Structure 1
Amino acid sequence: MKKIYVAALAYLIAGLAGGLFYREYTKAHDYTGDTQLAVVHTHLLALGMLLFLIVLALDAALGISGHRLFTLFFVFYNSGLVVTVAAMTVHGIRDVQGEDPLAAVSGIAGLGHILITLGLIHLFLAIRKQAAPRWRAAEAGGAREAEVGRAS
């Protein structure tokens, strides 16, 4: 659980720093146009901090962090988010400097998105593995209650 909390905190700090960088960097270059830098901080806060706070609550309820599926989620998702945000930052800096976008940066961002997707798949598999016994027990309990209701 502690590593989930640390990840959420790290993304909070990175998200706030990303917002500060965007504001100060564009101001220093007198840039007023659209740039990828404008959404780096929201990606870090939403996909980083908020997601890991939700995962922290899921871990408290279901105990998902002790499984290999969770470890795969953690590695894939964090790697993907870092790669994606790094590509967005490079793209945004090039925007502000008036340079053309690089196709390689878009490709790298795509790889980051693939890693995020793999991470989310593993998260849902870990949740299903831990929650399925509870679902079956709840369904069995509901079926018993329905039988008792019909008998009376």
Structure 2
Amino acid sequence: MNAFIVYGVLGLIGGVFYCEFTKLNGFTSFTTLSVFHTRYLMLGMVFFLLLVVVEKNFHFVDNKALKYLLFYCIGLNLTVVMLVVSGVVQVLS
């Protein structure tokens, strides 16, 4: 449940960052910053919300499943960091 909240907040912060950063720089074309907040909202928040619902019914999360969830979180965060870096470079260049 904590991951659901954290990814939701990060997704909302990402949306605000995208809007304000591109507006301040006068950028109107497509950038990867436009998809970075949706990654956090859908792949982070919604995934973990569904996981909480499924876990309540089936009780499948154990130590082995937690390892896979850790890899999922690392992969998601690495993807978003690279989207942000790429988007900032696109806007500033």
SS for the counterpart of 1:64 is: coil
Question: Given residue 3 of structure 2, which amino acid in structure 1 is its aligned partner?
Answer: A
Q: Identity, % of aligned pairs?
A: 34
Question: Deviation of residue 12 (structure 1)?
Answer: 0.3
- Find the aligned partners of 1:14 and 1:73 in 2 and give their Cα distance: 21
Count of residues in correspondence between the two structures? 93
Find out whether 1:76 has 2:75 as its counterpart.
no
Find out whether 1:29 has 2:25 as its counterpart.
yes
- Find the aligned partners of 1:38 and 1:64 in 2 and give their Cα distance: 35
In our comparison, the structure showing a higher alpha carbon Rg is: 1
Report the TM-score, using the length of structure 2 for normalisation: 0.97
Deviations 1:23-73 (A, max 9, x none): 0000000000110000001000000000000000111011122x1221112
Moved runs in structure 1, 4+ residues, more than 2 A?
Answer: none
Contiguous gaps of at least 5 residues in structure 1: 99-152
Report the TM-score, using the length of structure 1 for normalisation: 0.60
- Find the aligned partners of 1:42 and 1:33 in 2 and give their Cα distance: 18
Contiguous gaps of at least 5 residues in structure 2: none
Find out whether 1:94 has 2:82 as its counterpart.
no
